[in-house]
Amino acid sequence: MNMTHYMELLATNQPWNLIIFMAIPVILAETLAITELYLLFTRKFVGAIYQLNRFSGIIVGIYFIGIIIYIITQAVIPITQAGEWRTIVDIIAVSSYVVAGLPLIWIALQELGLINKRSGHEDKLKVHAVCVALFLVFGHIAMITGMLDPTIFGYTEANAHQMDGGNMSHESSSMQMN
């Protein structure tokens, strides 16, 4: 089966790419989302849950800065220059994954006091809630489109008809981590 570059990234270099690009950011973002719900209901802006919320928001935002830089420099630019996108679903999957990190970066900037400095807890909580929602929407768009087979939308592998030692020739992905 053919894969989008997003899914190929997660499937390559097992289990490390899955851990780096899916498990760590999702665990941090889910921790942020769960603690966010607690804060929305209790309005307790002190204590361990509040500190965990702040910590996970800062770490996941900073973490996504690294992921976005890596994805853009090692995948988006080279794939675009080589004209190797595997239909629109491939573009949507990768770009949605990148966009999903932006609201988390916004949360980190807010928690580090670099933006929304004069906002109170309630206003910051609203920003957090909107940012978490945006992450969830774009993250799920990336996952769903990333799991689609691009041949459904007309993609044909460049070397699909050439046999090499009994195996189909496959282009090497620029999203692989070595």
Write the CB contacts of 55 (distance below 8 Å, at least 6 apart in sequence): none
Structure letter (DSSP) for residue 111: H
Asked whether residue 162 is domain-assigned, the answer is no
Of 165, 144, 61, the residue nearest 109 (C-alpha)? 61
pTM of the predicted model as reported, rounded to 2 decimal places: 0.85
Reduced to 3 states (helix: H, G, I; strand: E, B; else coil), residue 167 is strand
**Is residue 156 assigned to a domain?**
no
pLDDT confidence of residue 9: 92
Domain assignment present for 175: no
Residue 169 confidence (pLDDT) above 50: no
- Reading the block at residue 146, the tokens are 């990333």
pLDDT band at 171 (very low <50, low <70, confident <90, very high): very low
Task: From 29, 20, 18, 84, select the one nearest 53 (Cα to Cα).
Answer: 29
Whether 80 has a pLDDT exceeding 80, the answer reads yes
d(CA 64, CA 61): 5
pLDDT tens for each residue of 90-101: 999 999 999 999
**CA–CA separation, 116 and 109 (whole Å):** 9
Is the pLDDT at 167 greater than 60, yes or no? no
Q: How confident is the model at residue 177 (pLDDT cuts 50, 70, 90)?
A: very low
Percent of all residues in the chain with a pLDDT value above 90, rounded to a whole number = 81
How many structural domains comprise the chain? 1
- Per-residue confidence (pLDDT) for residue 159, from 0 to 100: 61
The residue segments making up the domain with residue 119 are 5-148
Q: Does residue 154 sit within a domain?
A: no
Residue 174 lies in a domain: no
Q: Is 167 contained in some domain? A: no
Q: Which of 80, 83, 70, 79 is nearest to 20 (CA)?
A: 70
**What angle (nearest 5°) sits at the alpha carbon of residue 85, between those of residues 83 and 87?**
125
For residue 91, being part of any structural domain is answered with: yes
